[in-house]
Amino acid sequence: MKIFGVDIGGSGIKGAPVDLDRGELAQERHKVLTPHPATPASVADGVAEVVGHFDWQGPVGITFPGVVTGGITRTAANVDKGWIDTDARALLSDRIGQPVTILNDADAAGVAEMTFGAGRGRKGTVIMLTLGTGIGSAVFTGGQLVPNTELGHLELHGHDAEKRASTKAKEDEDLSWHHWAHRVQKYLVHVEMLFSPELFIIGGGVSRKAEKFLPLIEHVRAEMVPAELQNNAGIVGAAMAAAGK
Ligand code: BGC
């Protein structure tokens, strides 16, 4: 079965039809740049362009980089504040003319990793963290997701954790891998103190370069592995959500 998945990120809006039996993109993905400011109307135009590129008819799953409950977007840390309390499901399904399911980006990526990637078959507490423009989290136990955890906004030494340990912080402050890994380590130690997971899955675009920073991280008891679906996890997870999986 194929369902369309779209991932709304801080830098790009990416989408493709997804083969749900294999957990893979069925066609090469199409990407447009995220508009700035990323208002609901301008992002909806971007989503419509991505879906229109494939002439897709049918259900569409869409990720959003904030809390989503019942199709309503509730927070907007790294997108325009106009998203707060917007009926995003209605807005996007009207704009693209297809039924839409919308969920948090890290939750989508986590669900995909638990089914097709690094979390397959893991029954204990698993925490997926996506390091990107912000830090997203997805928490699982017994394979079940606790939706809308916001562990990227834990306070660490008086700072919002994502402002210190996201890949955006690394770029903005021009941090070395070593320096940034030290910050990620402090963050992981803190999350571990709170949740004692058996496994951390590290996702986001930087998971492609895991060998540059994961070996530098010490003092974390849990296993730490890079995401396997890498940057397509959000798209795959969005499509799974639209299929009711
Ligand atoms: C948001 C999360 C999101 C994460 C990654 C955070 O700033 O609050 O909801 O999952 O960024 O995009």
Q: Does residue 24 lie within any of the structural domains?
A: yes
- The residue whose CB lies within 8 Å of the most ligand 1 atoms, and thus the one to mutate among 130, 159, 187, is 130
Q: Is 136 in the pocket of ligand 1 (CB under 6 A)?
A: yes
* Alpha carbon of 174 to ligand 1 centroid (Å): 22
pLDDT digits (tens, 9 = 90+) for 179-196: 999 999 999 999 999 999
* Alpha carbon of 120 to ligand 1 centroid (Å): 23
56 and 86 share one domain? yes
51 and 137 share one domain? no
Ligand 1 atom 5, closest CA: 136
95 and 139 share one domain? no
Judge whether residue 245 has pLDDT over 90.
Answer: no
| More confident of the two residues 11 and 217 | 217
169 and 93 share one domain? no
30 and 125 share one domain? no
Q: Does residue 209 lie within any of the structural domains?
A: yes
Q: Model pTM greater than 0.95?
A: yes
pLDDT digits (tens, 9 = 90+) for 125-134: 999 999 999 9
**CATH, residue 163:** 3.30.420.40
Ligand 1 atom 12, closest CA: 65
The tokens for 99 are 């039924």
Q: Does residue 113 lie within any of the structural domains?
A: no
Q: Does residue 137 lie within any of the structural domains?
A: yes
Answer yes or no: are the C-beta atoms of 49 and 32 closer than 8 Å: yes
131 and 87 share one domain? no
Q: Which of 75, 105, 73 lies closest to 89 in space, CA to CA?
A: 73
Q: Does residue 114 lie within any of the structural domains?
A: no
Q: Does residue 40 lie within any of the structural domains?
A: yes
Q: Which of 226, 230, 201 lies closest to 213 in space, CA to CA?
A: 226
Q: Does residue 44 lie within any of the structural domains?
A: yes
33 and 101 share one domain? yes
> In terms of residue numbers, what domain contains 163?
121-227
The pLDDT value recorded for residue 10 is: 86
Q: Is 66 in the pocket of ligand 1 (CB under 6 A)?
A: yes
13 and 99 share one domain? yes
Domain count, the chain: 2
Q: What is the DSSP string of 39-105?
A: -HHHHHHHHHHHHHHTT--S-EEEEESS-EETTEE---SSS-GGGTTEEHHHHHHHHHTS-EEEEEH
